[in-house]
Structure 1
């Protein structure tokens, strides 16, 4: 994946609804997620969003990730406080919550988000590190 690739929002459950012309929302593989992280290292407009519980997050997460628990009652309002014009890589444990999360982000008007297919289970199975 090169820096010229468009960032896409993808949910764990996957979204079947259409995106607007101003949105890029899609699922990507863990290898593409790793490349996305590498290509955007140090950029202030890129965020890695972990939507697992704080307990899951504390057991190991992608470096630099921020944690907003999808299962918390305030998920939509917390995500709503994020800048909708930034680029996000979203992940959960397997793919369900991140898909639901990116559906919410799409509905809130976020322009770019990628859902990491397979979540942390696929990430670890591919040999990528967590902190």
Structure 2
């Protein structure tokens, strides 16, 4: 599974954060990954984030297919699952920032929480 590059809303959020002087852990090619369950993701996630459930049996296989040439930011509900996901991703040779909880990740990235 190859995760997509961030969509236009992510680029707009980055531009707005830069204009307002906000701090952001994101570069233009950063992929934001929500590692919660699909049900949690559906209830609200960061704009532009992709969902890869760290508790899914195929998580390690999904990580092995990720592009090592881009940075990743991961988050979950409270920070526990994102820490586990980040450790797995770093062990696979990826550049990963653990943003912790969804609220901490929203603050650090400047991205809004949205629902689809």
Q: TM-score, normalised by structure 2?
A: 0.69
Structure 1 residues 85 and 125, CA, compared in 2 at 3 Å: closer, same or farther? closer
1:95-106 map, 5 Å = 95-106=79-90
- For the aligned residue pairs, the C-alpha RMSD in angstroms reads 2.3
Q: Indicate yes or no: 2:96 matched with 1:113.
A: yes
Task: Give the structure with the higher percent helix.
Answer: 2
Q: RCO higher in 1 or 2 (8 Å CA, sep ≥ 6)?
A: 1
**Cα shift at 1:95:** 0.6
Q: Secondary structure at the match of 2:112?
A: coil
Aligned residues: 92
4+ residue stretches of structure 1 with deviation over 4 A? Answer: 123-128
Q: Is the 8 A contact 1:51 1:97 kept in 2?
A: yes
Q: What 5-or-longer segments of structure 2 have no aligned partner? A: 1-21
Q: Secondary structure at the match of 2:46?
A: coil
Q: Secondary structure at the match of 1:49?
A: strand
Q: What 5-or-longer segments of structure 1 have no aligned partner? A: 1-30
